Structure 1
């Protein structure tokens, strides 16, 4: 009997966007992650990160993206498990910055040709849409005029996607935006009221409010302000502020997808006896055994938390832990349940998780596979998974 996947796309159902960072194929040991590790039943949309840009063309990032039996093909093959699944290709990301986008956004002709080339690329490899992740227009080497040109680019992409669907009878390609959540990049990069109508969904990057670029500890996914936040800027660095901002700019609730984090942001403390939120810190925390990146710890790196002193920030609905000179803010099942309930109670379009390979996808914590993603599904999509309490 064919499985019933109606729960994914029936009218009024919430969306669950799952980012997959393809660089995780290179990680060590149990950290190695490939498309077959994704539980397709837990996502309505998978976003493959990342493609790059060369001239006016999309291009691959990994050597094995495009080859027969490569990562593109294996990711798209997940539709055999969940036929209603939509798979998008994300272009950009923090690492490549603004430079590759400047030429293609520069004129009507370059924007138009890029849009046509994007359609060919997405159709060739079986993707259902494009997630634009230019970080960020009119910033990081991009001139101020790119703010307006970015709106024009998104408008042209949506226009060409609509035109192609009308001419071919294909389902229209989706256009989403991985959107900034704080005023610094929002004000520099976007024309919100002009940009919103170009989008099918906005994937709000409502995380990284704090991190190792600062000299004090802070939780990167606080739902609300911390009690130590005093200035207006400080009190904007939380999920609730970002959601309010974009709703006030006119985005329909059903288009706004709230971002959640499966990774922790870590610090190295200046003094081991000062370990509270706001404690002095000198750098990112030591790399995890599998993700191997300073300042980042995946949830599945459970040994990083075992034996640590755990604390909870009640006003932010977020946990942190410390041991010696190491400090990490993270999310667990309890905090993600609160945040997913917030998205549901505000009737947003759904949730997004960055990223599936930083959840406990192997079940090494003794809590089953994907404890965080399943927790969010239980709330956002009313999809009961019967998971027990977390050991991580």
Structure 2
């Protein structure tokens, strides 16, 4: 109904048709249970895939906020949504976790989670040990029991 109304309005006014868009999940489980991808792909114009917030306060393990695009966008493409309709969302923030020990690993048990703004990120990174996770093409930093996952221009380049 909405698409038809937008098309009629465009025809009547001579203006381009209004776009129908949505921000959708990139998590495979949510995609499989929450969307009729073929229909969504036909009806929506651009589709913003939320390729972030894979780990946070809701989970029990420390992990990076953002995965590579193949994990996040592939289920949509594989289900027939044209690539030109898919827009990858990138966060401009990072997530912190308080670890149960200072023995650092990417999957360490999480006790507490936070959210840092750019100035806080810069201060933390100057004091912390910075590391690169090759298989995910992302950065993380740690100091004592603080663990922080974040992105930079290089990691964004792998996602794009």
Same fold (TM over 0.5): yes
Residue equivalent to 1:165: 10
Residue equivalent to 1:244: 74
Matched, 1:208 2:38: no
User: Where does 1:135-214 land on structure 2 (aligned, <5 Å)?
Assistant: 156-214=1-59
Q: Matches of 1:332 and 1:299 in 2, distance apart?
A: 12
Residue equivalent to 1:276: 105
Structure number with greater Rg is 1
Residue equivalent to 2:67: 222
How many angstroms does 1:185 deviate by? 1.9
Deviations 1:137-184 (A, max 9, x none): xxxxxxxxxxxxxxxxxxx32222222111111222111110111123
In 1, are the aligned partners of 2:51 and 2:67 still within 8 Å (CA)?
no
In 1, are the aligned partners of 2:132 and 2:140 still within 8 Å (CA)?
yes
Q: Matches of 1:216 and 1:326 in 2, distance apart?
A: 13
Higher relative contact order (CA 8 A, sep 6+): 2
Residue equivalent to 2:90: 260
Residue equivalent to 1:298: 117
Residue equivalent to 1:330: 150
In 2, are the aligned partners of 1:215 and 1:283 still within 8 Å (CA)?
no
Residue equivalent to 2:138: 318
Deviations 1:318-352 (A, max 9, x none): 00001122111000122112222xxxxxxxxxxxx
In 2, are the aligned partners of 1:207 and 1:261 still within 8 Å (CA)?
yes
Secondary structure of the 2:127 match is coil
How many angstroms does 1:205 deviate by? 0.5
Deviations 1:36-86 (A, max 9, x none): xxxxxxxxxxxxxxxxxxxxxxxxxxxxxxxxxxxxxxxxxxxxxxxxxxx
Matched, 1:339 2:154: no
How many angstroms does 1:243 deviate by? 1.6
- What is the TM-score when the length of structure 2 is the normalising length? 0.91
Q: Matches of 1:179 and 1:189 in 2, distance apart?
A: 10
Q: Matches of 2:157 and 2:35 in 1, distance apart?
A: 31
Q: Matches of 2:108 and 2:81 in 1, distance apart?
A: 37
In 2, are the aligned partners of 1:192 and 1:249 still within 8 Å (CA)?
yes
How many angstroms does 1:300 deviate by? 4.0
Secondary structure of the 1:310 match is strand
Q: Matches of 2:13 and 2:137 in 1, distance apart?
A: 48
In 1, are the aligned partners of 2:141 and 2:147 still within 8 Å (CA)?
yes
- What is the TM-score when the length of structure 1 is the normalising length? 0.39
Gaps of 5+ in 2: none
| Bigger strand share | 2
How many angstroms does 1:207 deviate by? 1.1
After the TM superposition, which parts of structure 1 deviate over 3 Å for at least 4 consecutive aligned residues? none
Q: Matches of 1:203 and 1:296 in 2, distance apart?
A: 22
In 2, are the aligned partners of 1:212 and 1:266 still within 8 Å (CA)?
no
